[in-house]
Chain A
Amino acid sequence: VTAIDVRSPEARRRIDRLERIWEEPRGLLGWLTTTDHKRIALMYLAASLTFFAAGGAEALTMRTQLAQANEHLLSPETYDQLMTMHGVTMIFFFVIPLSTGFFGNYLVPLMIGARDMAFPRLNALGFWLFLASGLFVYTAVFIHKAPNQGWFSYVPLADRTFDPGPNVDFYNLGLMLNSLASTVAAINFIVTIIRLRAPGMSLNRMPLFCWAILATAFSLLFALPSLTLANVLLELQRKAGFHFFDVARGGDPLLWQHLFWFFGHPEVYIIVLPAFGIATSIIPTFSRRRMVAYPLVALAEVMVAFIGFGVWVHHMFSTGLPSSTLLYFAAASLVIVIPSGIQIFAWCMTMVTGRPEYKTPLLFVVGFIVFFVLGGLSGITFAAIPVDQQLTDTYYVVAHFHYVIWGAAVFPVLGGLYYWWPKVTGRMYHERAGQLSFWLVFLGTNLTFFPMHVQGLDGMPRRVYTYPAGQGWGSLNMLETVGGFVIAAGLLLQLGNMLWAIRRGPPAGPNPWRAPTLEWRTSSPPPEYNFAVVPTVSSAYPAWDAGDFEVDRGRLERGELVLDRGHETPATTLQDGWLDEVLEMPSGSFAPVVLALFLCLAAAMVLLGHYAVAGMALGLVALTLVAWHGKEAAATLVDRKRAGLPNGLWGIALALASEGALFALLIGSYYYLRFHEAGWPLPGDPEPRVVVPLVLAFLLVATSVPMQLAVRAARRLELGRARGLLVVAIVVQAGYLAYQLQLFTDDLHKAGPSRDAYESVSFTLLGAHHAHVLVGVLLTTWMLGKLALGPTGYRLTAVRAIALYWHVVNVLGLVVTGVILSARV
């Protein structure tokens, strides 16, 4: 099976038109403004591999320090920073950006037959924010003020009392930027997968890799608010004297652990799920057969992500929680093995019943299965509460999570790099060198991490910068250090092999592996427009369907679904992939990189305590957003009839779902603190007002009526009426905000948030809601200006999106008021 060969001059002219339409500027300008998912993916690849090199160097330095007892290569302070940076780098700046940022971005549109991601500029913004967050945190390394409390940054150690430098502030602010990057990327993946699949690609024909990315994206969307909230609360405590985690003022340090691990455990699956997707792509190709139990594997990927949200407390089994609490989470931690087991059996059965050809990518996947089983088995021991309580904080834990995160998550990624390198570069790598690199990394991994089980059982604590002689740990530590360098040798060989392929590798052709998914039905590397004709799909393995290929050839000749009139891609229905509309996609822009720059500037100014400048930077962010949305595609001048919701509405709905999760967690934090105190409000705190906040909350809810009527009027193209209704809404909303801010300021003078935990959490809750109202007022004002310019499909969607935003903010207003008033009960 090969890419379509062009037979007629008319087909050639169509392809020439596509090339002209999708061409992007070359050079630095092209990279800064690109919205092509493949180029963005390549930038993710370059950046994440650079961070990987930094994280690897940190690991090797630590292993050298630990090779013998009483080594003094590193001071304790430097070791703490290296250990923290290793964890933060590998998780936030290497594995996730590589597996979702590179593989996800490069492959998802190709695998589903789309020409780009649903929101190309948002895609670019995600990359630039990720890069900004990485550079922001690494700035701290160069001034020797790197984060130093471990990747989980537990309080009270991370509080200003014990860590007065800017180290933890770099961590908090850097991860906030990183979370924003991952959230926009997650929204983009979800909308792309549910809306941009090629016609015919119903849910039962979607590639398993896309199921994995979909599950990952949903996990990111609902897990990241917890990390962001934890970072915000800690930063407020450090910078503004709030008391969320301060026991002396009614706070609770365990609240940090709950928030962190509610993110942290799903994070493990966020890291591993794309690896599952890579394995399920590689195994059928080299086994020459379809994946066994496709529905169950797809389901297992989603189920792992879902149950992953219900097991976080197993990271806290030794913190003295009630026994009844522990049992709930022990049960869930045991059952999550089932979906993982389903996949392991499916992978093994596919290989056993197929004709496996052990090329380098499949070798890495076999290695992954071995490590996943071993890491899974040691993981089960942590679900057993008494065992967990004995082994916690020992090297056994380090062994377990490296088998899972390094062995199970990174091995498929390394295999995936070999597998898709011919697609990305158009060149084949050197097979023998590839196999040698696998064996080096496989042996090195076992040498490094297997002895840590023994050390942990022998009582060696983790997070120590050195250890005394005579404990019996010296020889195992030396072995682990040697293993670390063997891994490094294998990785360097892989890097050399991939670079060799770019320069000297033999041409790969469109499908060198005879692989089954759609990305192999286009040339290697793919053109900017991905496919000359929107591909036909009639199974989950479309590149094995020779008949579909003939249909595509005919369509290209006839000009059917070539979409060569503009920057276009088809959109289809969610469940069954029926063609719904043709979308005009935005092209390159400076706005994403500029926006990321201003956000990073705001974070830096907060770090330095220049809050006014940070505010100005946020103002520039708002102006950049206005410029971003200044130019609309010509094809969106009319509102179309469609079966599904427009992409913009999907995007805002998902963003609001994530915001809703953040508010739910903040409200949960409020009640967590409340019920850990004997009295609430705390002694001496004024009780909250009742009548005025209730009246204001209902007044705000009432603005949903003019907002919804404005939507209806706009859809009927009665723009004057729509603008009038928006003005009514905005007057009430602005009045509400002004009055609330006055109350807020009065309360600040009576008893500020730095008084105790009750005041801290109440002010934060109210402040978060007021900030959302402020954003809503700005959005409605912008919408008024846009509607004055006349109707377009884009603007009609924007009116609906802003109305949806207000409905959610209004309901949240009622809920927040109820929570604050509940203190009187």
Chain B
Amino acid sequence: MRSGLLDTRPTGGRRLNALQWFGLGAAPLAWAAMQVFGWGLSELHCASGGSRLGIHARGWQIAATSAAFCVWLLAAAAALVVYRATRVEGEDPDPPLGRAHMLAVASLAVNAVFFVLILLAGISTAVATGCHRS
């Protein structure tokens, strides 16, 4: 019997599974949270109803960038751990290792892209917090 049927079902390991999904999804979610928070803060800081709150926008935005960067660091580490733990031979290796390895490769690429995104958004907040409207 080829792989894929009930009787030979191995578990991928809960820890490895959790790391796999954390490595894949944490950095995108951190960036999304940072984006929504940063945008909201910028609108709030510059809106007529928000100005009375006296928000220190730059400080909060740098804090949000730092938090997103920390999550990214953990996600990248998780992706690396899964990648190293699931190295397998050949194309289309059997699950669960083959699946975990494929997702680990994807996670490494995801983390590279989201590092750039978090960095660019972070630089933006550092250079421009003004309410100048063009």
Contact = CB atoms under 8 A, between A and B. Distances in A.
A296 interface: yes
B23 interface: no
A675 B50 contact: yes
B4 A322 contact: no
Interface of B: 2-6, 9, 12, 17, 28, 31-32, 35, 38-40, 42-50, 52, 57, 61, 91-96, 98-99, 101-103, 105-106, 109-110, 113, 116-117, 120-121, 123-125, 127-134
25 contacts: A200-B4, A201-B4, A203-B99, A204-B98, A204-B102, A294-B102, A295-B106, A296-B105, A320-B133, A322-B45, A323-B128, A323-B130, A323-B133, A324-B124, A327-B127, A327-B128, A331-B123, A334-B120, A338-B116, A389-B134, A538-B92, A576-B95, A671-B40, A674-B49, A677-B48
Contacts of B5: 199-200, 578-579
Contact of B42 (A202, A328, A332): A328
B12 to A, nearest CB: 7
A328 B31 CA distance: 11
Contacts of B124: 324, 327-328, 330-331
Interface stretch (A33-41, A301-309, A356-364, A623-631): A301-309
A1 interface: no
A548 B1 CA distance: 10
Interface of A: 199-205, 290, 294-296, 298-299, 303, 306-307, 309-310, 313, 320-325, 327-332, 334-335, 338-339, 342, 385, 389, 536-540, 548, 551, 575-580, 671-672, 674-680
A325 B102 contact: no
Label chain B's interface by main secondary structure: helix
B121 to A, nearest CB: 5
A426 B95 CA distance: 35
Contacts of A579: 4-6
B46 A548 contact: no
A205 B45 CA distance: 48
A699 B42 CA distance: 37
A320 B43 CA distance: 12
B99 A325 contact: no
A309 B57 contact: no
Contacts of A679: 49
Contact of B39 (A205, A290, A313): A313
Nearest to A297: B106
A474 to B, nearest CB: 33
Given A575-B96, A672-B43, A678-B49, 10 more contacts: A200-B5, A295-B109, A309-B32, A322-B132, A323-B132, A324-B124, A327-B128, A328-B38, A335-B113, A538-B3
B87 to A, nearest CB: 14
B88 to A, nearest CB: 10
A324 B2 CA distance: 56
A513 B3 CA distance: 28
Contacts of A537: 4
Contacts of A205: 92, 98
Contacts of B102: 203-204, 294-295, 298
B94 to A, nearest CB: 8
Contact of B46 (A322, A330, A538, A575): A322
Contacts of A536: 2, 4
B91 A290 contact: yes
B121 A296 contact: no
Q: List the 5 shortest-distance A-B pairs measured between CB atoms, nearest first.
A: A200-B4, A327-B124, A202-B95, A204-B102, A576-B95
Contacts of A320: 133-134
- Among A298, A325, A329, A579: residue with most chain B CB under 10 A: A325
A310 B134 contact: no
A577 B4 contact: yes
B103 A203 contact: yes
